[in-house]
Amino acid sequence: MNALLSVSMLSADFGNLARDVQAVNQSAADWFHLDIMDGLFVPNISYGFPVVAAIAQQAQKPLDAHLMIVDPDRYIDRFKAMGCTYLSVHYEACTHLHRTLQHIRKSDMKAGVALNPHTPVELLEDILEEADFVLLMSVNPGFGGQQFISHTLNKVSRLKALILRKNLSCQIEVDGGTHAANAPSIIQAGADILVAGHALFKDGDVRAAVEAFKNNTPPL
């Protein structure tokens, strides 16, 4: 089985959103990745519920929402109502992370913990059992099109070792600066899911870019 590919809609053309959603639907991609930014937790504002609803209305693949916001607990039920299957919150933003992850799971979504580049994976030692996946940021969150932080490969390997040591089925998602050329090394380090946006939308042919990405992804 190849790694999953979650397409970041942050890089879509919002003037032609329906067209780009359909392009992802018709591609070999696995999920829609929704980057939700509030301008507080990260220095940028992305999009809110109206855009999420517009994507959800036409999406034929699971919605993977990544909340880069303060106090994410306020919106968990709303994202469930929007039709999200996967919901990740930041370790750095949650005062009571255990409670937050339980809330996500009780809302019948898969619960993810996201880590900024500077946050060690070892801090998840006592919470990993409550997470269905961990999202490792491989760029500083807030903007698309950044360069992959190479140290992330080491973080992926260390997290994979922790998951295996605890005999868990938690998946590893990597978000930021991923493209067809570096995908193999990220997968080989232990990642199960890759998020890509800029690399898929920049040339205007999402389906071809997804195909190239998938063809260069080694089996897990």
Name the residues annotated as catalytic: 35, 175
The DSSP line for 114-135 is EE-TTS-GGGGTTTGGG-SEEE
**Position 102, amino acid:** Q
Q: Where do we find the tokens 């232990």? A: 190
Distance between CA atoms of residues 43 and 195, nearest Å: 20
Long-range contacts of 158-165 (CB under 8 A, 24+ apart): 158/121, 158/122, 159/121, 159/124, 159/134, 159/190, 160/189, 160/190, 162/121, 162/122, 162/124, 162/125, 162/128, 163/128
Distance of CA 49 to the CA centre of its chain: 18
Backbone angles phi, psi at 153, to 5 degrees: -60, -40
Which helix (H) or strand (E) segment holds residue 136: the answer is: strand 133-137
| Residues 20 and 45: beta-carbon distance below 8 Å | no
3-class DSSP assignment, residue 62: coil
Closest CA to 58 of 82, 25, 11, 86: 25
